[in-house]
Amino acid sequence: MASGLLLGGAIAALVTAAVPAHNPSGGFVDPPPDKIVINVATVNGSGCPAGTAAVAVSEDNTAFTVTYSDYLAKVGGNSDPTAFRKNCQLNLVVHVPSGFTYAIASADYRGFASLQSGASAVQRASYYFQGSSQTAFKTHNFSGAYNDNWQATDTTDWAQLVWAPCGVQRNFNINTEIRVNAGSSSPSKVSFMTMDSTDGDISTVYHMAWQQCPVK
């Protein structure tokens, strides 16, 4: 991915192949030694409109970073009626060495929220492969009054991991969402939630689990 895709922003999303996966037979499967190539097909959504998101792939093509500058949901005051919910979908093409498959085992999300007393917010993420009916959903709830950084961690049990199909190329989708509800708070007061940072130190890390495909 060309470095010219840098469009600004402050929150990062990183996919890494450095985490070994638990094997239900009792051992661990290390990441394959050959190169893992991650290409970002599309980035779109109300939380990452054109010109506000950037995608950069690491030099060895085993990780990618997405930065956002306008991922903010808000209600109250003079907020747009549609601003209460924002989302961003990443569509990834992940090429792995023959004989291996992968899944997202955990993800750490961070941001900032300012919620009035009586207001609430939700951060949600879903993970699925193109053409597959199996989708993993994770939801985190926040209640006002709240005015601080927030962090949410998704972890998936081994039995519930959504694995890439062996021997078939399927794009992988990560769809994130933030939603703010005014609840019983004063309509004149603004509540908001972001998935960005002013200092660039906040990041979202996706850890990939590995498994060997069955031998045919």
Mean pLDDT by 10 residues, the chain (216 residues): 29 36 46 69 88 69 69 95 94 81 79 96 89 82 95 78 82 91 96 67 60 80
* HSE toward the beta carbon, residue 127, CA cutoff 13 A: 20
Cβ proximity of 5 and 185 under 8 Å: no
106/13 Cα distance (integer angstroms): 12
Nearest to 146 by CA among 185, 108, 176, 172: 185
Cβ proximity of 160 and 45 under 8 Å: no
Dihedral sign for Cα 37, 127, 110, 186, please: positive
145/120 Cα distance (integer angstroms): 8
pTM (2 d.p.): 0.73
Dihedral sign for Cα 91, 93, 96, 101, please: positive
Dihedral sign for Cα 162, 212, 61, 167, please: negative
> What's the angle, vertex CA 6, arms to CA 8 and CA 31, rounded to 5?
115
Instruction: Write down the pLDDT at residue 8.
Output: 25
Task: Indicate the residue type of 95.
Answer: H
Instruction: Write down the pLDDT at residue 114.
Output: 97
